[in-house]
Structure 1
Amino acid sequence: MNNKIFYCEGCKDDVSTYVEDREEIFNVRGEDITINSKVRVCDNHHHDIYDEALDSKNIERAFEKFRWENDYLKPMEIKEAREKYGLSQRGFASLLGVGSASIARYETGAVPTNSHHTLLKNVRDNHEFVKDLYENNADKLKRLDKRRMEERLDYEDAQSIMEETIQLYLKKTQIESNPIYNGYIEFNFDKLMNLIIYFSKNIGKLSKTKLMKLLFYTDFRNFKETGLSVTGLSYKKLPFGPVPNHHFLMLDSLMEKDAIDIMPFDSYDGEYIVPLIEFDMTWFDEDEMNIIHSVVKDFKYTNAQIISDHSHEEEGYKQTEMNDLISYEYAEILK
């Protein structure tokens, strides 16, 4: 880059040049931005030389600093916001009510106006805002953009429902503040999910009732051995035995996440778990896996009624009032 030959307007001749660092101020959207620029200079009389590549990079630096200081979206983030809804640049512009040339410039590095940036940020962050935009501007979109937009809106709605379900479940599992009811460990949704995947992959047509008891014995056995539960779940005394608190919401969350499905038995007498993802063993340490293996070994061929009856004989179940949480203290005398 240094010592290149460039034409110098001051010298009216091709001259040898060098590049120097210089503090410069650029005005970006009405704001003065100071950066350390690289400027090409004439060797002979030190005139500034026009270098398109260097000047473009200086402008990019100024734009990038402006974005960072003002929390503006980067070009790639603008493109991702558009592609999230499957729109062409023209379709995206029609949705926003701006010129398609503006969208093209913003995606290639230009800094949006304040009003345009507010629109773009709302599109990225606010799904309901996008739905309102579409309702008002759908007639302005071409058929292909319209079809893609509707497909993506449906997908985002489904994702939103999934996140709301999971967040509600997480919130409810964290309400219990007494650690004796969660095994002195913070609830871990991913760990629970993988434990259920393991059980359902290793036990054919695992019924919901049996699953609840396998979780109970895994957590309470691990607490007996280590002083900690595996999942951080709390368990409630219900008529069919110990059951994870908010167990319906637990299963709904796993289905919303497409981790499992629930199918009826051929006899339609109950339902069983169908795993939809692979088991990830990295969530568990060696001691936990030993406990999990022991639970599968002991109960793999035990039907739901027998394991339910067995759980009724546990002191933790017998000494707890119906609908109350079962203390992990009873793990010490687990049968």
Structure 2
Amino acid sequence: MIVTHEREKLIQAVNYFARHTRKFGKTKLYKLLYFLDFEHFKQTGRDVTGLTYFAWPMGPVPVSLHEEIDNPKPDLTDAFDFERRAIGDGWRLNIEPKVPFSESHFSKREMMILKNLAEEYRDTDADKMIEATHLENLPWDRVYNKDGRKQQEIPYDLALRNDERDRMMKIIEERKDLLEKLK
């Protein structure tokens, strides 16, 4: 199996969050990855993990990862142990790293965002993570509530204010044009 740079970043981001937060299960993972990708996009015009998020009732969900967790690819099973644990009236999927974390895959900015998110949400449970993604005018709210596009993709450009979006989209188009010329 070929592991792309984005895939390695995804695995290492999961590894980092699993090591530096508590009450860490699927829901918290999805929300932390969403915050990582959307914050990085807001700052640079690029996501970190390559995931696409959808507006589900409980907040943003990276559907491809959600589907894979039930039947993980070898690179995930090599990196993590997945175990269902009972908590209260329900259960949580515990994600335990089997490999050391390596920050070599991340830029300084990406590491800063990872560290800030882990610190901010270290002790936050899944319900509070859901609340954090449901705040008014954040991308999930705009897709799910304002546009009524339930279960639909959350565009990354919603991380930007309108004035920022126009400027960032112009920069992204210029980068694409430059890359095409270099090919």
Structure-2-length-normalised TM-score? 0.74
Equivalent in the alignment of 2:146: none
Segments of structure 1 that go 5 or more residues without pairing to the other structure are: 1-162, 171-185
Equivalent in the alignment of 2:140: 317
Q: How many residues align?
A: 151
Q: Secondary structure at the match of 2:160?
A: helix
Structure 2 residue 125 is matched with structure 1 residue 303: yes
1:254–1:200: structure 2 CA closer, same or farther, 3 Å change rule? Answer: farther
Superposed displacement of residue 215, structure 1: 0.1
Pick one of 74, 78, 84 that aligns with 1:264. Answer: 84
Q: Which whole-Å CA distance do the structure 2 matches of 1:187 and 1:331 have between them?
A: 23
Query: Post-superposition, which runs of at least 4 consecutive aligned residues in structure 1 deviate over 6 A?
Result: none
> What percentage of residue pairs aligned between the two structures are identical?
29
Structure 2 residue 113 is matched with structure 1 residue 285: no
1:250–1:190: structure 2 CA closer, same or farther, 3 Å change rule? Answer: farther
1:323–1:297: structure 2 CA closer, same or farther, 3 Å change rule? Answer: same
User: Which amino acid is 1:263 matched to?
Assistant: E
Which of 1 and 2 has greater Rg? 1
Kept in 2: contact 1:203–1:300 (CA 8 A)? yes
1:49-198 pair list within 5 angstroms: 163=1, 188-198=6-16
Kept in 1: contact 2:52–2:154 (CA 8 A)? yes
Superposed displacement of residue 261, structure 1: 1.6
1:294–1:256: structure 2 CA closer, same or farther, 3 Å change rule? Answer: closer
Kept in 2: contact 1:187–1:232 (CA 8 A)? no
Question: Which deviations, in whole Å up to 9, do the C-alpha atoms of 1:280-331 show, x marking residues without a partner?
Answer: 1110010110111111111111111011012012531122211111011111
1:228–1:256: structure 2 CA closer, same or farther, 3 Å change rule? Answer: closer
Equivalent in the alignment of 2:64: 246
Equivalent in the alignment of 2:159: 331
Question: Which deviations, in whole Å up to 9, do the C-alpha atoms of 1:37-87 show, x marking residues without a partner?
Answer: xxxxxxxxxxxxxxxxxxxxxxxxxxxxxxxxxxxxxxxxxxxxxxxxxxx
Kept in 1: contact 2:22–2:123 (CA 8 A)? no
Kept in 2: contact 1:254–1:260 (CA 8 A)? no
Kept in 2: contact 1:205–1:274 (CA 8 A)? no
Q: Secondary structure at the match of 1:305?
A: helix
User: Which amino acid is 2:94 matched to?
Assistant: Y
Segments of structure 2 that go 5 or more residues without pairing to the other structure are: 144-148, 162-183
Q: Secondary structure at the match of 2:111?
A: helix
User: Which amino acid is 1:206 matched to?
Assistant: F
Q: Which whole-Å CA distance do the structure 1 matches of 2:94 and 2:74 have between them?
A: 14
Superposed displacement of residue 258, structure 1: 1.7
User: Which amino acid is 2:142 matched to?
Assistant: Q
**More relative contact order, 1 or 2 (CA 8 Å, 6+ apart):** 2
Superposed displacement of residue 253, structure 1: 2.3
Q: Which whole-Å CA distance do the structure 2 matches of 1:230 and 1:191 have between them?
A: 7
User: Which amino acid is 2:153 matched to?
Assistant: L
Q: Secondary structure at the match of 1:274?
A: strand
Q: Which whole-Å CA distance do the structure 1 matches of 2:10 and 2:76 have between them?
A: 15
Q: Secondary structure at the match of 2:54?
A: strand
User: Which amino acid is 1:315 matched to?
Assistant: L
User: Which amino acid is 1:309 matched to?
Assistant: E
Aligned-residue CA RMSD (Å): 2.2
Superposed displacement of residue 240, structure 1: 1.1
Kept in 1: contact 2:86–2:92 (CA 8 A)? no
Pick one of 46, 52, 65 that aligns with 1:234. Answer: 52
Kept in 1: contact 2:51–2:64 (CA 8 A)? no
